[in-house]
A and B are shown apart, each in its own frame.
Chain A
Amino acid sequence: MSTVSDTIAVLPAGRWQVDTVHSQVGFAVELTGGTFRGSFSPVEATLEVDDYGHAQLTGSTRAENIKVQDENLNAHLLAPDFLDAERAPEISFVSEDVRVAGRDLAIAGELTIKGIGRPVELVGRIGEPIVDAYEREHLSLTVATTIDRTQFGLDWNVPLPSGEPALGNHVTLTAELHLIKA
């Protein structure tokens, strides 16, 4: 049985701008056998959908918008060992291909971190379009990808007593974007 929310075939046309207060990009990386999470906020994002359903998603944030729970760690993540915010202040994404199937979304594009651009594929879901009390149209997207941080020049590590590296190379990035129609 099909429901209304499953029938979306194309993204709704228009220029959709991020609601920065309610959006973020989270990261998760394996650390000493567990998961360490942080986020970037605010993030900028725009989704442009033409009348034929062709879409482009662009997004960016400042490296200095990284948020973790310790100021010393925050400072280290901004240093040349990691993001090198002084020399590479911006992190950005530009889509090249956006595909929609029902509420599923697959976006191919280029992610640039530390000045190094790499192709990535984001996979996720489109939320139910909502009209708020001020008659603004909302659309939410949640998309994720897993990158190898060393491909972006983030090579730092430290060995555990076993000799194994403490920090994993695979980082999962999850963008939770609340968009409002301009």
Chain B
Amino acid sequence: MRILGISGSLRRGSYNTRLLVEARELLPGAVELELWDGLKAVPPYDEDDDGAEAPAAVAALRAALAGADAVLFATPEYNSSVPGQLKNALDWASRPISTNALRGKPVAVVGASTGAFGAVWAQAELRKILGAVGARVVEGELAVGHAAQRFDGEGRLVDDDLREQLEETLRLLLEEAAFRVAAQAA
């Protein structure tokens, strides 16, 4: 089982990227979580560039999505919504709409912010976007507010309740992914 982890934050030391690292630590040994590091390289979406041969960074994104059994998104919140670069990458990933690599793909959304609310609005927007793209968005939720106080010096999540919510979200994601893998093999 392969999960692709996509952080909506580009900065080094991102709390959202740390959430994905935490998820990787919590996953069963047989499950691999690859942290996707290509977000910054994705060019702005332009239909004129979306021809038979997509830009290399876009082709890499689409291949990474296609090769994953599930995708875990961790998003910060910029101005009550998702970061523009994450939305831009999803706009590329969604094309063509009827056959895109996220179609039917189990996905989960978590998020962290330094404010009180843990990027809940950005997460809601991201779930809406992923639904429109055609992904299967699992129910699990995790909003890490006051993120600066939630990780220790080694970048690990220190709050047990939040870790349990992350584990539950991962459980739901893996369940959907296993169901789909079995259905496609049948």
In the complex, A71→B97 CA distance in Å?
8
In the complex, A21→B39 CA distance in Å?
48
Inter-chain contact B136/A74, CB cutoff 8 Å: no
In the complex, A84→B105 CA distance in Å?
12
Within 8 A of A (CB), among B103-140: 103-104, 128, 131-137
In the complex, A44→B55 CA distance in Å?
44
Of A75-83, A121-129, A139-147, the stretch lying at the interface with chain B is: A75-83
A156 within 8 A of B: yes
Inter-chain contact A80/B98, CB cutoff 8 Å: no
Inter-chain contact B104/A81, CB cutoff 8 Å: no
A136 within 8 A of B: no
Inter-chain contact A75/B183, CB cutoff 8 Å: no
Q: Which residues of B contact A158 (CB under 8 A)?
A: 128
Inter-chain contact A75/B134, CB cutoff 8 Å: yes
Within 8 A of A (CB), among B10-36: none
Inter-chain contact B104/A86, CB cutoff 8 Å: yes
Q: Which residues of B contact A75 (CB under 8 A)?
A: 97-98, 103, 134
In the complex, A71→B98 CA distance in Å?
8
In the complex, A87→B133 CA distance in Å?
16
Inter-chain contact B132/A76, CB cutoff 8 Å: yes
Chain A interface, DSSP helix/strand/loop, else mixed = loop
A72 within 8 A of B: yes
| A161 → chain B closest CB, angstroms | 15
Q: Which residues of B contact A84 (CB under 8 A)?
A: 136
Q: Which residues of B contact A156 (CB under 8 A)?
A: 131
**Size of B's binding interface in residues, CB under 8 A:** 13
CB-based nearest B residue for A79: B134
Q: Which residues of B contact A74 (CB under 8 A)?
A: 98
In the complex, A79→B97 CA distance in Å?
10
In the complex, A24→B143 CA distance in Å?
46
Inter-chain contact A80/B128, CB cutoff 8 Å: no
Q: Which residues of A contact B136 (CB under 8 A)?
A: 80, 84
Q: Which residues of A contact B133 (CB under 8 A)?
A: 79
In the complex, A154→B12 CA distance in Å?
40
Q: Which of B98, B128, B135, B137 has the most CB atoms of chain A within a 10 A radius of its CB? A: B98
Known: A74-B98, A156-B131. A79 touches B103 (CB 8 A): yes
Q: Which residues of B contact A76 (CB under 8 A)?
A: 97, 132, 134
Q: Which residues of A contact B128 (CB under 8 A)?
A: 158
Chain B interface residues (CB < 8 Å from chain A): 97-98, 103-104, 128, 131-137, 183
A-B contact pairs, 26 of them (CB 8 A): A71-B98, A72-B97, A74-B98, A76-B97, A76-B134, A78-B98, A79-B103, A79-B104, A79-B131, A79-B132, A79-B133, A79-B135, A80-B104, A80-B131, A80-B134, A80-B135, A80-B136, A80-B137, A81-B131, A81-B132, A84-B136, A86-B104, A87-B104, A87-B183, A156-B131, A158-B128
| Other 19 A-B pairs with CB < 8 A, given A71-B97, A75-B97 | A71-B98, A72-B97, A74-B98, A75-B103, A76-B97, A78-B134, A79-B104, A79-B132, A79-B135, A80-B131, A80-B134, A80-B136, A80-B137, A84-B136, A86-B103, A86-B104, A86-B183, A87-B104, A158-B128
Chain A interface residues (CB < 8 Å from chain B): 71-72, 74-76, 78-81, 84, 86-87, 156, 158
The 7 A-B pairs with the shortest beta carbon distances in the complex, nearest first, are: A79-B134, A81-B131, A75-B97, A86-B104, A80-B136, A75-B98, A72-B97
